[in-house]
Amino acid sequence: KNEVEQSPQNLTAQEGEFITINCSYSVGISALHWLQQHPGGGIVSLFMLSSGKKKHGRLIATINIQEKHSSLHITASHPRDSAVYICAAHRSNDYKLSFGAGTTVTVRA
């Protein structure tokens, strides 16, 4: 079983819809990252969370440490949000990152 599980694997939404991506982890963490990877390959760090909730523009990330679960929400989705979103857990024992398999998000105009 992977240390980090993401769902769904793929997601298609109409422009304007609310999108949620879920991430569960089974290891002790110091922080959890949400990353965005566009088709060109480059990775952008969207959020780093160790507790609670963070908001940046139309993106919201939450984490529940007790339940070992995090969610990434995209409000009022737009075609430019189409990308692969990756959840990565920063392991507290060795500071390495464990990655989820990624969620491919496609937003149609």
Partner 1 sequence: GAVVSQHPSRVICKSGTSVKIECRSLDFQATTMFWYRQFPKQSLMLMATSNEGSKATYEQGVEKDKFLINHASLTLSTLTVTSAHPEDSSFYICSAQEMDRGVTEAFFGQGTRLTVV
**How many of the chain's residues bind partner 1 (CB under 8 A)?**
21
Q: Is 86 in the site for partner 1 (CB under 8 A)?
A: yes
Residue 16 CA to residue 90 CA, distance in Å, equals 32
Q: Is 48 in the site for partner 1 (CB under 8 A)?
A: yes
Q: Which stretch binds partner 1 (CB under 8 A): 17-25, 56-64, 73-81, 86-94?
A: 86-94
Degrees, nearest 5: CA angle 29-1-7: 75
Task: Judge if the upstream peptide bond of residue 8 is cis by omega within 30 degrees of 0.
Answer: yes
CB 44 to partner 1: min, Å: 8
Q: Of 45, 64, 75, 106, which lies in the binding site for partner 1, with binding defined by CB under 8 A? A: 45
Rg (CA), the chain: 13
Torsions phi, psi of 78, nearest 5? -135, 150
Q: Is 27 in the site for partner 1 (CB under 8 A)?
A: no
